[in-house]
């Protein structure tokens, strides 16, 4: 896959929300992988439903609102798309997620906190859905080093004040030793690619994994839809551009140790930095 997004700047690493207005753009993004991605979602929903789908009682109407929104968005922005057949019989959220490449998360205000009350996450980047359902935003973010301390209050204020007519996007990224889309935390622990990666193969065997995330209000109460779209690009493709290689190198060098471990960098740090130095200064 060519590199669609590169959310790494020239400055020192810093945790930030990095929100950008979506304006009139669609929050659904399709590409040449639409069929293979939706086919994989169908397989996961049919064979590993407990790993990718979860919801709490009382969220059914909001899930139906999400399904209606997906149909409206596809009709408006993607009228020529040959849509995948929907997954049926597993609820509105599964049906909605099976039509698009994005994963879908429903956040609802419960007892004064925004909590995850439903989600279809077929393409997780190192986390387990069953451990997140029912929990607040701050609890969900606990595994991310220093995130709550740095921007936890800002995230809470954002959820409180999100304008009903506003859509926003942000980006997250990591460097993984596997380009599989389905990578829950228990699979990441196995580090399946470890034995095949060397200084000679790092560019080919490691992947720059970007999460494009969007947030918007649904039409009822303050129910909020959070979406995640995954893009994988081989590191050698990313670092064909010398400036990108230099930016990534600087970011990794200024990243705290706990965050390097969280972003799956520490295991390969020595030859990863050597590789980036060569690409940044050929």
pLDDT at 74: 98
pLDDT at 221: 85
Question: Is 3 domain-assigned?
Answer: no
The percentage of the chain sitting over the pLDDT mark of 90, rounded to a whole number, equals 68
Question: Is 1 domain-assigned?
Answer: no
Question: Is 97 domain-assigned?
Answer: yes
Question: Is 10 domain-assigned?
Answer: no
pLDDT at 143: 80
Give the sign of the dihedral formed by CA 270, CA 276, CA 280, CA 282.
positive
pTM confidence score = 0.94
pLDDT at 28: 98
Residue 253's φ and ψ, nearest 5 degrees, are: -70, -30
Give the sign of the dihedral formed by CA 84, CA 75, CA 232, CA 254.
negative
Question: Is 85 domain-assigned?
Answer: yes
Nearest Cα residue to 202 out of 241, 243, 231, 237 = 237
Distance CA 178, CA 138 (A): 28
The CA-CA-CA angle for residues 252, 258, 261, to 5°, reads 70
Question: Is 251 domain-assigned?
Answer: yes
Q: Domain of residue 239: give its range.
A: 20-280
pLDDT at 152: 84
H runs (alpha helix) in 225-268? 235-238, 242-253, 257-262
Question: Is 2 domain-assigned?
Answer: no
For the chain, 282 residues long, the average pLDDT of each consecutive 10-residue run is 90 91 92 98 97 96 97 97 97 98 96 94 93 90 83 85 88 92 82 70 94 94 95 96 96 90 79 94 78
Question: Is 14 domain-assigned?
Answer: no
Q: Total structural domains in the chain?
A: 1
């Amino acid at each position: 896959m060519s590199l669609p997004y590169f959310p790494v700047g020239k400055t020192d690493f810093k945790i930030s929300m990095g929100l950008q207005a979506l304006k009139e753009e669609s929050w659904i993004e399709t590409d040449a992988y639409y069929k293979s991605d939706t086919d994989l979602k169908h397989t996961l929903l049919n064979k590993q439903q407990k790993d990718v789908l979860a919801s709490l009682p009382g969220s059914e109407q909001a899930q139906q609102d999400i399904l209606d929104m997906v149909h409206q968005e596809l009709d408006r922005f993607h009228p020529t798309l040959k849509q995948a057949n929907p997954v049926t019989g597993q609820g509105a959220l599964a049906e909605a997620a099976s039509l698009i490449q994005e994963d879908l998360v429903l956040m609802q205000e419960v007892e004064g906190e925004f909590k995850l009350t439903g989600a279809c996450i077929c393409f997780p980047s190192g986390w387990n859905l069953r451990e997140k359902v029912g929990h607040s935003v701050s609890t969900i973010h606990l595994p991310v080093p220093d995130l709550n301390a740095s921007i936890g209050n800002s995230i809470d204020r954002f959820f409180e004040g999100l304008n009903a007519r506003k859509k926003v996007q942000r980006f997250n990224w990591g460097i993984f030793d596997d380009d599989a889309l389905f990578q829950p935390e228990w699979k990441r622990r196995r580090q399946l690619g470890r034995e095949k990666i060397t200084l000679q193969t790092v560019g080919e065997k490691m992947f720059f994994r970007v999460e494009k995330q969007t947030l918007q209000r649904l039409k009822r109460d303050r129910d909020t839809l959070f979406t995640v779209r995954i893009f994988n690009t081989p590191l050698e493709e990313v670092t064909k551009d010398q400036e990108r290689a230099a930016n990534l190198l600087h970011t990794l060098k200024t990243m705290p140790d706990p965050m390097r471990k969280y972003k799956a960098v520490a295991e390969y740090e020595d030859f990863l930095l050597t590789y980036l130095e060569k690409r940044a200064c050929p």
